Amino acid sequence: MVNEFRKNLAKIIHLRSIIGYNGLVFALKKTPVIGKLIPDRLYSTTFLKVIYWIFHIIVEVFKLFIGKIFGLGMIYLAAFLLSDQYIEHELGGGMSRSAVFGNLGLFMFLLYALCGILIRVPYFNCTTEKEYLVFMLRMDAKKLNETLICYDLAKLFIGYVMAGIIAVITGAPFWLWLGIPVLALAVKFLGIGLQILSFRLKIKLHKSLKISTVAYLIRLTLVLLAGPFFIVFIANGYFIPMPQLVIITVLTVIAGIWGLMIFIKTDSNLHRRALHDNISKTEVKATSQYDNTKSFKKFKAKGTIKGNKKGFDYLNALFVKRHWTMLCMKPVIFTIIVVAVMILLVAEFIYGYYSRFGSENCWNMVITNLVNLFTFRAFSDALLPVGDDPAFEFLRYVAQFHLLGMLIPLSIADNSFKSTQAMFINCDNSLMTFSFFKQREKIIRLFDIRLKQLIKINIGPVIAIGAFANLILFVTGGQSYPGEYLVTFLVAFLLSVLTSVTWLALYYLFQPFTTSVVAKSGAYRITSIIIYSVASIIVWIPLASYILAPVLLVFAAGYVLFLRSRVNKLAPKTWKIKS
Amino acid sequence: MEFVISHLVKNYGSKQVLKDVDFVFEEGRIYGLLGRNGSGKTTFFNCVNNDIDINSGEFFFRGESGEKTPVMPEDIGYLVSTPTVPEFMTGREFLKFFIEVHEEIKPDKTIDEYFDYMMVPEDDRDRLLKDYSHGTKNKMQMLLNIIAAPKLMLLDEPLTSLDVIIAEEMKNVIRNQKQGRITIFSTHLLDVAVDLCDEIVLLHNGRLEPIDKSNLGDSDFKEKIINALRDEDNG
């Protein structure tokens, strides 16, 4: 039996090490730039495998010490500190300090361990190593689980015994030292037994044995809800009398033995089925690229295109119609939030005016301003009482000289990157196999249509951000030259155009996406980082809006034309499916 | 018209996939490009379709009087083994769009007649392409290539994983469409190549080698091809 356990454990650790090492090399090979320098023979380099193996052992030991010793150590530390308080405030009901330490330590550990089995019993999750061993190498599922559970419980026992030594030195009773590790094993077996019972019930009901995420969240919530009760219990100096605590402990140990019996009696088929239904591929997920194409496939054949749109206009209109939520939801939500904030600010401003100058003045101010605004377009005089506020002066300075800063909220609202992902995965990826799609004039035609579309999608945030900046101008004294409000909107619009054209042109010039929508191109990433860096410096440059607007207009026109010409020249070669 | 490939070389790092491809394909014939898995058939198609850069060599069309014409994207129809179609469109919408963007095409059929020609089921025509079966997606791809009427049709294992009925329908369409163009049909299945193609070309050791198909009835024919492909291992 011991020999078989040793053999199985060796197999598991060996496979775990292979999966871990190969996963690491695979991840390195997928890293931009560095990946190309790493040769395939790294997979078979014994020296590096040995280094990885040593590293793996260090991690195991680290997990043992940090996970087990730290977890229980915190409980002992809390019991140590609380026992002092209980004794000092005479809350221990006549118990010695050591007895209080033992009582609180046992109580907190019971709570911790029982909550633990509610949250996590990991033995039936099927990791890659389990999947290989059971479903490919035909290893007995029960023997595999037995081996892993024994290995895990041995680590737990050793870790807890070591933590207990420190506790005994600091005044814990001796029985706590060995009692807690035994109790921990019992609680673990109780968790396993309960899990197996739930599997048996599911089998009777002809349900999948997949461990439900919803049930997990409910259990987690229950555990979290227990937290405040525990704090109140301890903060009031309560404790469970020792006889009752011992009874609970004994019952838990008996329940643990019952769990162990259930575990022993369970046949291999249940283990195999439970593993089959709970395949998680955690190692593969950690090292491979995340496939998020599913989020891009949520569209339905709703509606059709009215009017006489043809060709690429028709394609684009259909694309937007079927991807409206994906493309427009973020800018729309952003716009709603900005508008809501503006309404709150206006309400707050009016309320401030009301509390300072009374309802009659406030009412007059609102009416006068509205009348002035709609008839004479002049309203600043009525706001003068608050116009001298230094905070308002600062905000006015920002709204007049730091309009480039609007690039930050506009970039947050901008959805162009995700839009290019959707374009690729749901449209271009397939059309690129058709020759017409790679013709220069057709590429640039679609580019123009899409650029207009992205600009249209961002128009909501542009108006909202522009209105926000203008609201600041309005509140702090109104425009300082005719047309300043329009200039603010123009700057916001131009900044949005720059953002949209950048993402779209980068997509056409580098086409970075794989069929799993991962941006794989190193050049794409580097160019994006450079653009981000330059933009993050530029946004801080102070420039009066009447200078900024014409400069930005010329720059944006030149920038769009330049990128368009690059796309026209290079995209027939660069805009293709990544091999 | 001929499609001429001259000394085409394609390497992936140090691995030479196409060593020195030199071949002339003639109009009106179906060429079965036969090679083992991983022999470079898809790479060859991707090179011709300009999806990947070649290391050296050239390819072009040669007219009746011997004049060279460069291969333009619109000259090529490429049917990939795993059909990819814009999934957010219905079959009808896609066909409408496709005809509209090909302004040079004067369609002689209505959209439904095209569907009928390719035997696309009626209840599929107004469904999203993402809900199409593999075979129907393949038919859609083929149909679009037929409408575009390219000079050179590249078919990369188009019958793989199709059921027998759809495979047979596709074979008939390919046969009916061979006039006026060059069709290159890649497969690793010898029987399919023998059944469908006028000529068989082996992609062997990074080179194209014609196989004499005149003795098709000869029982040694298949054996000969298998032996030729086996040589690759020894080479």
Phi/psi at B68 (nearest 5 deg)?
-90, 135
Burial of B2: CB neighbours in 10 Å, binned 0-12, 13-18, 19+? middle
Please tell me which residue of chain B has the smallest CA distance to A442. Answer: B101
Q: Closest by alpha carbon to B88, among A437, A428, A452?
A: A428
Looking at the predicted structure, is the pLDDT value of residue A576 above 90?
no
| d(C-alpha A501, C-alpha A506), whole Å | 8
Q: Are the Cβ atoms of A301 and B126 closer than 8 angstroms? A: yes
A281 backbone φψ class: left, alpha, beta (φ>0; ψ -120 to 50): left
**What is the overall mean pLDDT for chain A?**
84
Structure confidence at residue A378 as a pLDDT band (50, 70, 90)? low
Domain ranges, ordered by start, for chain A = 2-287, 318-574
The 8-class DSSP code of residue A292 comes to -
C-alpha distance from A127 to closest chain B C-alpha (Å): 30
Structure confidence at residue A284 as a pLDDT band (50, 70, 90)? very low
Q: Residue type at B21?
A: V
Rounded to 5°, the CA angle A375-A381-A383 comes to: 105
CB atoms within 10 A of CB A327: 21
Q: Are the Cβ atoms of B73 and A436 closer than 8 angstroms? A: yes
CB atoms within 10 A of CB A306: 7
Domain ranges, ordered by start, for chain B = 2-86+150-234
**Whole-number CA gyration radius for chain A:** 33
Structure tokens at A393: 């002066």
Task: Read off the pLDDT of each residue in A399-405 and give the average, rounded to a whole number.
Answer: 91
For residue A150, CA distances in Å to A145, A242, A260 come to 8, 31, 12
Q: Are the Cβ atoms of B93 and A318 closer than 8 angstroms? A: yes
Q: Whole-angstrom distance between the N-terminal and C-terminal Cα of chain A?
A: 51
- Chain B hits for A307, CB-CB cut-off 8 Å, are none
Q: Closest by alpha carbon to B162, among B183, B187, B184?
A: B187
Which positions in chain B have a beta carbon within 8 angstroms of at least one beta carbon in chain A? Answer: 46, 49-52, 73-78, 80, 84-90, 93, 96-98, 100-102, 126-128, 130, 141, 144, 148, 150
- Chain A hits for B88, CB-CB cut-off 8 Å, are 299, 318-319, 322-323, 426-427
Please tell me which residue of chain A has the smallest CA distance to B143. Answer: A434
The two counts, helices (H) then strands (E), for chain A are 24, 0
Nearest to B150 among A300, A435, A439 (CB): A435
Nearest to A439 among B73, B87, B88 (CB): B73
User: Which among A146-160, B73-87, B205-219 has the top mean pLDDT?
Assistant: A146-160
Q: Are the Cβ atoms of B128 and A299 closer than 8 angstroms? A: yes
- Chain A hits for B127, CB-CB cut-off 8 Å, are 301
Please tell me which residue of chain A has the smallest CA distance to B53. Answer: A573
- Chain A hits for B126, CB-CB cut-off 8 Å, are 301
Task: Read off the pLDDT of each residue in B141-168 and give the average, rounded to a whole number.
Answer: 84
Q: Are the Cβ atoms of B73 and A297 closer than 8 angstroms? A: no
Looking at the predicted structure, is the pLDDT value of residue A566 above 90?
yes
User: Chain B interface, mutation test: which of A36, A321, A436, most B Cβ atoms within 10 Å?
Assistant: A436
What is the full DSSP assignment across chain B?
-EEEEEEEEEEETTEEEEEEEEEEEETT-EEEEE--TTSSHHHHHHHHTTSS--SEEEEEEE-TT--EEEPPGGGEEEE-SS----TTSBHHHHHHHHHHH-TT---SS-HHHHHHHTT--GGGTTSBGGGS-HHHHHHHHHHHHHHH--SEEEEESTTTT--HHHHHHHHHHHHHT-TTSEEEEEES-HHHHHHH-SEEEEEETTEEEEE--TTTT-THHHHHHHHHHHHHHH-
The answer to whether the Cα torsion of A342, A348, A351, A353 is positive or negative is: negative
- Starting from the edge strand earliest in sequence, which strands make up the sheet with B56-62, in order? B15-26, B2-12, B56-62, B68-70
Interface of A with B in 282-311 (CB under 8 A): 297, 299-301, 304, 310-311
| d(C-alpha A108, C-alpha A81), whole Å | 13
Looking at the predicted structure, is the pLDDT value of residue A557 above 60?
yes
Task: Read off the pLDDT of each residue in A457-480 and give the average, rounded to a whole number.
Answer: 89
Structure tokens at B21: 């491809």
**What is the overall mean pLDDT for chain B?**
84
C-alpha distance from A411 to closest chain B C-alpha (Å): 27
Q: Are the Cβ atoms of A311 and B75 closer than 8 angstroms? A: no
The per-residue pLDDT for range A12-22, each reduced to its tens digit, is: 877 878 888 88
Task: Read off the pLDDT of each residue in A218-236 and give the average, rounded to a whole number.
Answer: 83
Q: Are the Cβ atoms of A442 and B101 closer than 8 angstroms? A: yes
Q: Whole-angstrom distance between the N-terminal and C-terminal Cα of chain B?
A: 34
Q: Residue type at A316?
A: N
Contacts A–B by Cβ distance under 8 A: 75
Structure tokens at A447: 């580019």
For residue B11, CA distances in Å to A30, A224, A514, B53 come to 21, 59, 21, 10
| d(C-alpha A386, C-alpha A392), whole Å | 8
Helix (H) or strand (E) holding A481: none
Residues 6 or more apart whose CB falls under 8 angstroms from that of A420 comprise A503, A504, A506, A507, A513
Looking at the predicted structure, is the pLDDT value of residue A2 above 80?
no
Nearest to B85 among A318, A430, A577 (CB): A430
What is the full DSSP assignment across A144-179?
HHHHHHHHHHHHHHHHHHHHHHHHHHTT--HHHHHH
C-alpha distance from A438 to closest chain B C-alpha (Å): 7
What is the full DSSP assignment across B104-139?
T---SS-HHHHHHHTT--GGGTTSBGGGS-HHHHHH
Percentage of chain A with pLDDT > 90?
Answer: 30
User: Which among A37-41, A83-87, A555-559, B111-115 has the top mean pLDDT?
Assistant: A555-559
* Domain spanning B2-86+150-234: CATH superfamily: P-loop containing nucleotide triphosphate hydrolases (3.40.50.300)
Question: Taking the mean position of all CA atoms in its chain, how far away is CA A541?
Answer: 33
Judged by a CB distance cut-off of 8 A, whether residue A411 touches chain B is: no
Looking at the predicted structure, is the pLDDT value of residue B133 above 80?
yes
Q: Are the Cβ atoms of B51 and A310 closer than 8 angstroms? A: no
The per-residue pLDDT for range A120-149, each reduced to its tens digit, is: 777 888 887 788 888 888 888 888 888 989
C-alpha distance from A129 to closest chain B C-alpha (Å): 29
Q: Are the Cβ atoms of B93 and A577 closer than 8 angstroms? A: no
User: What pLDDT is recorded for position A90?
Assistant: 77
User: What pLDDT is recorded for position A288?
Assistant: 47
User: Chain B interface, mutation test: which of A325, A430, A514, most B Cβ atoms within 10 Å?
Assistant: A430
Looking at the predicted structure, is the pLDDT value of residue A517 above 70?
no
Please tell me which residue of chain A has the smallest CA distance to B85. Answer: A430
User: What pLDDT is recorded for position A197?
Assistant: 92
Looking at the predicted structure, is the pLDDT value of residue A287 above 70?
no
Residues 6 or more apart whose CB falls under 8 angstroms from that of A508 comprise A443, A447, A567, A571, A574, A575
Nearest to A426 among B73, B87, B150 (CB): B87
